[in-house]
Amino acid sequence: MFHKEGFRIITITFLAVAAVVISADHYISSLWMSKGIQIVALVFLILVLQFFRNPKRTALESETQIIAPADGKIVIIKEVNEPEYFQDKRLQVSIFMSPLNVHVTRYPATGEIKFSKYHPGKYLVAWHPKSSELNERTTIVIEHQTYGSILYRQIAGAVARRIVNYAKVGDKAIQGHDAGFIKFGSRIDLFLPLGTPLSVGLNERVKGGITIISSS
């Protein structure tokens, strides 16, 4: 199953790869070179298909838990000043997504969407300390019954060139449901109230919609 944001790219890639495979057979006399080009083209198609996969998952829905908004690796856990919305200290939990991860963004909690804003910006590598402030990004705030205001931020990386965000102010976010997509490498930052108990640790790998970030 593939994410709808990838349908156009998958179609174009498939047609281009098909043209390369057919052309290699007709116009390249060397068998080894022809097969080599065809193999490279097919591998490229497989990578594109793999990137846009959207595995069906039975997402957790709980009023007392926050779940991972994306697949990847926990690269930051620290108290920071969040200047855009809260303008005070929050607990930041950041998930880095490599090009091999599923890139679907899922709502980390159920609640009303209070804030949703897109910021154009740079394309620093996603693990850069300043990427949360300088890169292309979106900021979304969900008002949660137990945790209060929860902020998550989609951040483009050095390769990612488009962020898709479905969250609109006034809508209801449903925990684990599709909230958007980041194309080709990226990061998700969660900003939680200070003192929030965490169920994950640094360098831990998480699955969007499945892994519990916090349980109160």
pLDDT at 32: 84
Query: How many Å apart are CA 128 and CA 76, to the nearest integer?
Result: 11
pTM of the model: 0.81
pLDDT at 124: 63
pLDDT at 37: 82
Edge-to-edge strands of the sheet including 178-183?
104-106, 178-183, 162-165
Burial class from Cβ neighbours inside 10 Å (0-12, 13-18, 19+) for residue 146 reads middle
What HEC string does 82-108 produce? ECCCCCEEEEEEEEEECCCCCCEEECC
Tokens describing residue 116: 């949703």
Tokens describing residue 133: 């402030």
For residue 59, the surrounding DSSP H or E stretch is none
- List C-alpha distances in Å: 205 to 28, 44, 137, 212: 45, 26, 22, 11
Contact of 188 with 157, CB cutoff 8 Å? no
Using the structure block, give the residue that is written with the tokens 């498939």. 14
Per-residue pLDDT of the chain (216 residues; tens, 9 = 90+): 776 776 787 788 889 888 888 888 787 877 788 888 888 888 888 877 777 777 777 777 788 999 999 999 999 999 999 999 999 999 999 999 887 788 889 999 999 999 999 988 766 665 556 656 667 889 999 999 999 999 999 988 655 557 889 999 999 999 999 999 887 668 899 999 999 999 999 999 999 999 999 998
What HEC string does 3-37 produce? CHHHHHHHHHHHHHHHHHHHHHHHHCCCHHHHHHH
Question: Could you give the residue numbers annotated as active site?
Answer: 186
Query: How many Å apart are CA 146 and CA 130, to the nearest integer?
Result: 30
Scanning 83-163, the segments in alpha helix (DSSP H) are 131-134
